[in-house]
């Protein structure tokens, strides 16, 4: 079968590999659509999170169960599923409560074990969630990033008069914008340097879009979601907050970032990290999509056949910022 393999920074290749065998207690899934995530770009550029090479990349997928191993009863052939790609110890105090995202040993498929940028994946049934058969599998592939954004919105603790600023109109920033639209929020402003991304943000309901951070204190907001993961934007995000405001960090950094914490103290800001999602967030994301409460179609900018995955990565790492969520179709 075809798979996209990571060999080292900037070194990825579509290759023919053995189709995985479905052992007892495991499930073989035919991948229908797999999304390229910001963290896949961190892997591609820097080799972050990868424990051994080569590894088949990818952790966001929707597909169809084709075979179940002996003893598997939770899913059956023909079921439409999405994956919970978190790989955790399963026994620490956080894993036992379903908070695998806080597991000290947390990793993801596609980084610490074979991922989903492949025609098939073998996975444990506990790591699959069944989705309704009438949910478009393209949208189902967005359950995972939608769960990330749902987790962010929970951390933000929005209410009807909370003004929200979103830094970065990539998939996570835009999904956060969509979810802020169904949560009570008192106006959402999106900042990004790309005019095409800001156009999408406007279409998705942003009250205001800006190509640079505002400097007036009257423009300050209660909550800033930092979804760019860029060093320079973090300080601007802190300055953008009202006294007593809340900063949610949702973008991962490729380098260490310095911050003047006196500003955090002076304004009594709360700073919270948001790491992936818990199992309840994944279930909520499925529910939001299958009930049509949120429409994420506008986030999908491209669908590439898996054999053209290398071109998809070139597009996503180019200066052309029109690409948002790019799906691979094996």
Residue 295 falls in which region: left (phi positive, over 0), alpha (psi -120 to 50) or beta? beta
How big is the site for Zn ion, counted in residues (CB under 5 A)?
Answer: 7
Of the pair 103, 306, the CB lying nearest Zn ion is at 103
What gap in Å lies between CA 233 and CA 17, rounded to an integer? 41
Q: Is 123 in the site for Zn ion (CB under 5 A)?
A: no
Of the pair 103, 146, the CB lying nearest Zn ion is at 103
Of the pair 48, 264, the CB lying nearest Zn ion is at 48
Mask 11-50, x = binds Zn ion (CB under 5 A)? --------------------------x-------------
Please select the residue that binds Zn ion; options are 48, 66, 92, 259, rule is CB under 5 A. Answer: 92
Please select the residue that binds Zn ion; options are 28, 103, 142, 180, rule is CB under 5 A. Answer: 103
Of the pair 66, 89, the CB lying nearest Zn ion is at 89
The minimum distance between CB 274 and Zn ion, in angstroms, equals 13
What gap in Å lies between CA 252 and CA 269, rounded to an integer? 20
- Selected range binding Zn ion among 101-109, 168-176, 225-233, 281-289, rule: CB under 5 A: 101-109
Of the pair 59, 246, the CB lying nearest Zn ion is at 59
Please select the residue that binds Zn ion; options are 88, 162, 176, 189, rule is CB under 5 A. Answer: 88
Of the pair 72, 172, the CB lying nearest Zn ion is at 172
**Angle (deg, nearest 10), helices 195-203 and 171-182:** 20
Q: Is 176 in the site for Zn ion (CB under 5 A)?
A: no
Rounded to whole angstroms, what are the CA distances from 235 to 6, 188, 226, 278, 294?
33, 19, 10, 29, 32
| Residues of span 47-76 touching Zn ion by CB under 5 A | 60
Residues 6+ apart with CB under 8 A from 153: 176, 179, 180, 183
With 0-12 / 13-18 / 19 or more C-beta atoms within 10 angstroms meaning exposed / middle / buried, residue 114 is: buried
Residue 110 falls in which region: left (phi positive, over 0), alpha (psi -120 to 50) or beta? left
- Selected range binding Zn ion among 19-27, 82-90, 202-210, 304-312, rule: CB under 5 A: 82-90
Is residue 5 within a helix (H) or strand (E), and if so which, with residue range?
Answer: strand 2-8
Q: Is 95 in the site for Zn ion (CB under 5 A)?
A: yes
Of the pair 88, 154, the CB lying nearest Zn ion is at 88
State how beta strands 208-210 and 188-191 pair. parallel
What gap in Å lies between CA 121 and CA 29, rounded to an integer? 5
Of the pair 85, 330, the CB lying nearest Zn ion is at 85
Strand order in the sheet with 11-16: 11-16, 2-8, 55-56
Please select the residue that binds Zn ion; options are 1, 14, 66, 89, rule is CB under 5 A. Answer: 89
R_g of the chain computed on alpha carbons: 20
Q: Which residues bind Zn ion (CB under 5 A)?
A: 37, 60, 88-89, 92, 95, 103
């Amino acid at each position: 079968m075809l798979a996209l393999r990571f060999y080292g920074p900037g070194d990825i290749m579509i290759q023919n590999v053995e189709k995985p065998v479905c052992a007892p207690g495991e499930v073989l899934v035919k991948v229908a659509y797999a999304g390229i995530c910001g963290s896949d770009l961190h892997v591609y550029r820097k080799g972050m999170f990868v424990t051994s090479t080569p590894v088949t990349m990818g952790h966001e997928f929707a597909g169809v169960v084709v075979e179940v191993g002996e003893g598997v009863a939770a899913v059956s052939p023909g079921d439409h599923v999405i994956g919970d790609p978190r790989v955790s110890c399963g026994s620490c105090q956080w894993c036992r409560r379903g908070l695998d995202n806080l597991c000290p040993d947390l990793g993801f498929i596609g980084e610490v074990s074979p991922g989903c940028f492949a025609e098939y994946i073998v996975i444990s049934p506990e790591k699959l969630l069944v989705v309704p058969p009438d949910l478009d599998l393209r949208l189902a592939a967005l359950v995972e990033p939608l769960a990330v954004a749902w987790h962010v919105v929970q951390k933000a603790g929005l209410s009807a008069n909370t003004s929200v600023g979103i830094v970065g109109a990539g998939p996570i920033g835009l999904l956060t914008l969509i979810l802020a639209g169904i949560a009570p929020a008192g106006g959402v402003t999106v900042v990004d340097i790309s005019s095409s991304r800001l156009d999408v943000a406007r279409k998705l309901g942003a009250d205001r879009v800006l190509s640079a951070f505002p400097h007036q204190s009257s423009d300050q907001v209660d909550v800033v979601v930092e979804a760019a993961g860029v060093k320079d934007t973090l300080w601007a995000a802190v300055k953008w907050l009202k006294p007593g405001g809340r900063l949610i960090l949702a973008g991962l950094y490729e380098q260490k970032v310095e911050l003047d914490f006196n500003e955090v103290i002076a304004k009594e800001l709360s700073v919270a990290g948001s790491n992936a999602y818990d199992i309840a967030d994944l279930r909520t994301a499925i529910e939001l999509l299958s009930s049509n409460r949120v429409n994420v179609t506008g986030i999908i900018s491209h669908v590439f056949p898996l054999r053209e995955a290398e071109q998809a990565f070139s597009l996503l790492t180019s200066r052309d910022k029109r690409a948002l969520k790019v799906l691979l179709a094996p």
